[in-house]
């Protein structure tokens, strides 16, 4: 008898990101053309595996998708262990396991960010052969040098800051540009550095609005009557940071259901209040500096469009390495970028962790040395 042909399942989960199609193509073309495997795509993340919504990926399906944004498979934020089915939240892990075996899969490849790494680990612990690829524009997946999607989003955010310089200069304004990054500041920090922002605010460094205003006033005294502020959506003042930290610790210490409920309500209230943080920041700066301020929120434009050359290369490298690992039957790992090479990192070391910006990172040091205010 001939050797059994390996059959791979692949899905994209979480938020969409530039480079997903390039990664699908990297896995698919290597698996099909180099190793002679079969590959099935599941639509809309883990829900597609529950609902048996699938598509056979072949050379014609993979043709022409390298430069296309988004994902041809669709995506969702559904979690296998907490999926809404007919209005009820249910654990669908056993259904996924059954369908994995029903379709004769030898491995399930999951493309996604931090949440996907945790969900993939749960499926691996349920007995499935799983490999993940790190995707997110936030660049915050642990144990990898880079995630695909980040480079493209960085280019888009930087170009936006470049364009804002001219209007800020012409009208002597403070322009506050809100950049994605709820828990980590890689995108705002990188775009702020590349775009020459005068102030960069990230979640890892709580800010003092008075110190920011002082930095802007110093620029005015030296004859520069405009400033660009690059702020991550998750950046917060020192007061808000202390309140949020206290609420999180309160939830950790809570022992009764009543105490947990109270702590969760407090956290949710703080998060709702923080949702309008960028607008409040701009207003405070206007009051403190007497300079007109305007806000630009980049939003989902950072996720869209054609992936950059850097993301196409990274996604193709990681996708191809993923097929190599499947051939070697090396499962339960994430394919990490490590310099110009790749590394298989056990999912246990990735899931539940986040790669934040270290306070002594070279980007932070460079920003300080060129005179950028970080709000502290």
In a domain, 291, yes or no: yes
Identify whether residues 166 and 291 lie together within a single domain: yes
Catalytic residue list contains 138: yes
Tell me, yes or no, whether 359 lies in a domain: no
The confidence score (pLDDT) of residue 2 equals 54
What is the CB-side half-sphere exposure of residue 77 using CA atoms within 13 A?
Answer: 4
| pLDDT tens track for 18-44 | 999 999 999 999 999 999 999 999 999
Q: Is residue 24 domain-shared with residue 144, that is, in the same domain? A: yes
Ranges in the chain, pLDDT < 70: 1-2
Q: What is the domain-level CATH number for residue 81?
A: 3.40.50.450
pLDDT at 1: 47
DSSP lists the bridge partners of residue 178 as 231, 297
Total domains in the fold of the chain: 2
What are 79-138's pLDDT values in tens digits? 999 999 988 999 999 999 999 999 999 999 999 999 999 999 999 999 999 999 999 999
Residue 251 lies in a domain: yes
Question: Looking at the structure, do residues 193 and 333 belong to the same domain, yes or no?
Answer: no
On whether residue 270 sits in a domain, the answer given is: yes
Residue 71 and residue 14 share a domain? yes
Q: Could you tell me if 129 and 187 lie in one domain?
A: no
198 shares its domain with 286 = yes
The active-site residue, picked from 44, 78, 106, 138, is: 138
In a domain, 360, yes or no: no
Residue matched to tokens 């939830």: 251
Query: Could you tell me if 49 and 74 lie in one domain?
Result: yes
**303, 325, 359 — which closes off a domain?**
303
SS3 53: coil
Examine the domain organization and report whether 167 and 249 are in the same domain: yes
Question: What is the distance between the alpha carbons of residues 149 and 77, in angstroms, rounded to a whole number?
Answer: 17
- What is the rounded end-to-end Cα distance, in angstroms, of the chain? 68
Q: Does 136 reside within a domain?
A: yes
- The reply to whether 18 and 144 lie within a common domain is yes
Strands (E), 285-332: 293-297
In whole angstroms, what separates CA 260 from the centre of its chain? 28
Residue 173 and residue 213 in one domain? yes
Instruction: For 288-349, list the strands marked E by DSSP.
Output: 293-297, 333-338, 341-346
Asked if residue 238 lies in contact with residue 205, where contact means CB atoms within 8 angstroms, the answer is no
pLDDT of residue 169: 78
Per-residue confidence (pLDDT) for residue 274, from 0 to 100: 75
Is the separation of the CB atoms in 57 and 24 below 8 Å? yes
Range of the domain at 138: 7-148+307-349
Task: Give the model's pLDDT for residue 170.
Answer: 80
Confirm whether 48 is domain-assigned.
Answer: yes
CA distances from 287 to 44, 89, 134 (A): 46, 47, 42
Q: What CATH number does the domain containing 290 carry?
A: 3.40.50.460
Residues 217 and 343 in one domain: no
Residues 175, 299 share a domain = yes
Q: Which burial class, exposed, middle or buried, applies to 250 when counting CB atoms under 10 A from its CB (0-12, 13-18, 19+)?
A: middle
Geometric angle at alpha carbon 352, from 349 and 355, rounded to 5°: 80
* 374: in domain: no
């Amino acid at each position: 008898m001939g050797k059994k042909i390996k059959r791979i399942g692949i899905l994209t989960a979480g938020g969409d990101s530039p480079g997903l199609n390039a990664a699908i193509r990297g896995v698919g073309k290597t698996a099909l053309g180099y190793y002679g495997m079969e590959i099935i795509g599941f639509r809309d993340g883990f829900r597609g595996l529950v609902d048996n919504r699938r598509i056979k990926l072949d050379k014609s399906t993979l043709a022409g998708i390298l430069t296309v944004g988004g994902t041809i498979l669709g995506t969702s934020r559904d979690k296998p262990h907490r999926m809404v089915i007919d209005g009820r939240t249910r654990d669908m892990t056993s259904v996924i396991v059954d369908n994995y075996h029903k379709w004769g899969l030898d491995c399930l490849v999951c493309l996604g960010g931090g949440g996907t790494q945790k969900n993939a680990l749960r499926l691996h612990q349920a007995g499935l052969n799983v490999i993940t690829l790190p995707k997110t524009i936030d660049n915050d997946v642990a144990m990898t040098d880079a995630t695909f999607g980040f480079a493209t989003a960085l280019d888009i955010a930087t170009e936006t800051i470049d364009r804002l310089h001219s209007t800020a200069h012409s009208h002597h304004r403070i322009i506050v540009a809100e950049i994605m990054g709820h828990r980590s500041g890689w995108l705002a920090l990188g775009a702020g550095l590349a775009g020459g922002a005068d102030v960069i605010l990230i979640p890892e460094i709580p800010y003092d609005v008075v110190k920011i205003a002082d930095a802007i006033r110093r620029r005015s005294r030296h004859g520069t009557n405009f400033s660009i502020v690059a702020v991550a959506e998750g950046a917060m003042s020192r007061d808000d940071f202390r309140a949020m930290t206290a609420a999180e610790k309160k939830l950790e210490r809570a022992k009764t259901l009543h105490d947990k409920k109270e702590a969760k309500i407090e956290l949710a209230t703080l998060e709702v209040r923080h949702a309008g943080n960028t607008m409040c920041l701009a207003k405070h700066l206007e009051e403190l500096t007497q300079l007109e301020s305007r806000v630009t929120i980049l939003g989902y434009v950072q996720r869209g469009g054609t992936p950059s050359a850097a993301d196409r290369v990274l996604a193709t490298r990681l996708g191809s390495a993923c097929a190599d690992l499947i051939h070697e039957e090396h499962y339960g790992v994430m394919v990490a970028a490590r310099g110009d090479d790749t590394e298989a990192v056990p999912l246990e070391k990735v899931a539940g962790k986040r790669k934040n910006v270290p306070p002594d990172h070279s980007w932070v040091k460079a920003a300080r040395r060129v005179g950028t205010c970080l709000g502290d």
